[in-house]
Amino acid sequence: MFNKLTSFLTLACVLSTILAAPFPQGTTTTSNENFQPFTGNLGGDVAPSVIRGDDGFTVQGKGTFTDLASALAASCDVLKAQCTNTANSVAGRASGLTLEQCDQQDAQCRAAIAGVSDPDASPPLIEDAAKNNNPK
């Protein structure tokens, strides 16, 4: 009986020690890493940086977005608006910058962001991956 009690108390101590240890908490870290890969700069304007913040992703001049894809698209939107404004300005017209060139740059920006993914995003569940790989 004494051996069983000793074993039980030892096990209880081990379990309480393990359970008392802090579990890693999911935290969002901020960083200065720019997730916007596009570097085109027609008219001297570049796509604004997309930076991870506490509440998602921040795009200068456009706000904060909960997901990376939306933030990157907004960054391309800002670049397109800047390019359009420059092309419509006296200086832009004098330099030969056209709205067609801005449209081409916008398409290039969107192509550049198409393959970008959030490195901190949760991977899909194995069940979901299995469902997607089943031929019909």
Q: pLDDT of 7-23, one tens digit each?
A: 555 555 444 544 454 44
Model confidence at 25: pLDDT above 80: no
* Angle CA 45–110–125, to nearest 5: 135
Average pLDDT, whole number, for the chain?
A: 80
Q: What confidence category does residue 6 fall into, taking pLDDT thresholds of 50, 70 and 90?
A: low
Q: pLDDT of 63-84, one tens digit each?
A: 999 999 999 999 999 999 999 9
- The SS3 assignment for 39 reads coil
